[in-house]
Amino acid sequence: MSEFWLISAPGDKENLQALERMNTVTSKSNLSYNTKFVIPDFKVGTLDSLVGLSDELGKLDAFAESLIKRMAQSVVDVMEDAKGKVQENLLANGVDLTSFVTHFEWDMAKYPAKQPLVSVVDTVAKQLAQIETDLKSRTASYNTLKTNLENLERKSMGNLFTRTLSDIVSKEDFVLDSEYLITLLVIVPKPSYTQWQKTYESLSDMVVPRSTKLLAEDNEGGLFTVTLFRKVIDDFKIKAKENKFTVREYYYDEKEIKREREEMTRLLSDKKQQYGPLLRWLKVNFSEAFIAWIHIKALRVFVESVLRYGLPVNFQAVLLQPKKSSTKRLREVLNSVFRHLDQVAAASILDASVEIPGLQLNNQDYFPYVYFHIDLSLLD
């Protein structure tokens, strides 16, 4: 992914020459790759309305960026087993995001430039709001399903003290429906297997001989059965504890085991059914949201350029793609080339960019030219 700087300067002869100088210097010094960024002429309206739109577009820009980040993360979450293929699902109009930005063309069909500017902004805002509403609804349903499935799976991943036993035990392992006898499950440390076999029949009176069987093992120990008379349960538990054998409280319930297995099967099936439609929806609407975001950037450049440079509308927008580790030098070149647009601001920025450590040059700083930042690395 890449970052881009979207700037504009007045379209008079002096500033077009400044743009040419910028292109020459940045090209020779290999500072950035520059392309024209074509923005249609909109119905401007009043300057008061433009001031209001400037504030609204700033909020809409932040909202759109947040939305596409959340959608990108949702694609990552849904494609948990194929994360290497995430980027090929984050496209705009079928092309990678960098290509879309560098070859941007205003979508006249979706956002007619002949409409009042306020209407265009309202169309974009409503589109993004609807996408966010649908995103919340669709991902909430999928995430609930995923969480329930993970909780069930987690039950079978613990140790013998905590994990579910429904996939380990069977009806044949227990004496069921007996008035006098009961089968207990005992966890025995691995080093104590021999001791268990030699002593379990004598831990208490009335233990059924040769009734123990190893059902399962983990790293620490094994799960054994033992059958005895119900009236000696408490005594057996005490003696077992003294020998570091742990009786695990468990009641074999065939209906509950069947219900748990059916629930796992149902959740796996539901997740598989939702996966395809959700991923397709995310791909389509991520593209729509990203396209809308870049159109918002274009609208912001238009509005700020008119407010900064005045009427009639006459400015040139340029998209710069800074080369790696060249942003500081590129900023100095831009501030130098366009210094004449605002001598005081440009001089202070030039000084600050060189002399003041820790200065953050971002969307909130003032430059003598209109400037907006597009950071696609946030979607990596």
Distance CA(104)–CA(33), nearest Å, equals 15
Amino acid at 340: H
| Contact in structure between 72 and 90 (CB atoms under 8 Å) | yes
Helix axes 254-309, 47-78, angle to 10 degrees: 150
| Token output for 257 | 């085991």
Strand order in the sheet with 3-10: 32-36, 315-322, 3-10, 370-375
- Return the ∠ at Cα 129 (arms to 125 and 130), rounded to 5°: 120
Beta-carbon contacts of residue 346 (< 8 Å; ≥ 6 apart)? 335, 336, 338, 339, 340, 367, 368
- Comparing C-alpha atoms, which of 191, 173, 54 is closest to residue 118? 54
Distance CA(253)–CA(286), nearest Å, equals 47
Distance CA(165)–CA(254), nearest Å, equals 12
| Token output for 142 | 């999928």
| Token output for 158 | 């613990």
Distance CA(358)–CA(326), nearest Å, equals 17
Which run of H or E residues covers position 8? strand 3-10
3-state secondary structure 305-360: HHHHHCCCCCEEEEEEEECCCCHHHHHHHHHHHCHHHCHHHHHHHHHHHHHCCCCC
Distance CA(329)–CA(147), nearest Å, equals 49
What pLDDT does residue 88 have? 87
Cα 241 to chain centroid distance, Å, stands at 48
pTM over 0.75: yes
- Return the ∠ at Cα 74 (arms to 71 and 75), rounded to 5°: 90
Distance CA(330)–CA(266), nearest Å, equals 57
Local confidence pLDDT in tens for the 380 residues of the chain: 489 999 999 999 988 899 999 999 999 999 999 999 999 999 888 888 899 999 999 999 999 999 999 999 999 999 887 777 888 889 999 999 999 999 999 999 999 999 999 999 999 999 999 999 999 999 998 999 998 888 888 888 889 998 989 889 999 999 999 999 999 999 999 999 999 999 999 999 999 999 999 999 999 999 999 999 999 999 999 999 999 999 999 989 888 888 888 888 899 898 888 899 999 999 999 999 999 999 999 999 999 999 999 889 999 999 999 998 899 999 999 989 998 887 544 454 445 443 333 333 443 466 889 999 999 987 76
What pLDDT does residue 343 have? 59
What pLDDT does residue 2 have? 83
| Beta strand extents in 134-229 (DSSP E only) | 181-189, 213-217, 221-229
What pLDDT does residue 340 have? 87
Q: Regarding beta strands 32-36 and 315-322, do their DSSP bridges make them parallel or antiparallel, or are they unpaired? A: antiparallel
| Contact in structure between 303 and 12 (CB atoms under 8 Å) | no
Distance CA(366)–CA(372), nearest Å, equals 11
- Return the ∠ at Cα 273 (arms to 268 and 276), rounded to 5°: 120
| Contact in structure between 224 and 186 (CB atoms under 8 Å) | yes
> What does the DSSP assignment read for 167-179?
TT--GGGS--S-S
**Which residue shows structure tokens 């790293």?**
219
What pLDDT does residue 52 have? 93
| Token output for 333 | 């070149």
* Secondary structure (3-state) at 1: coil
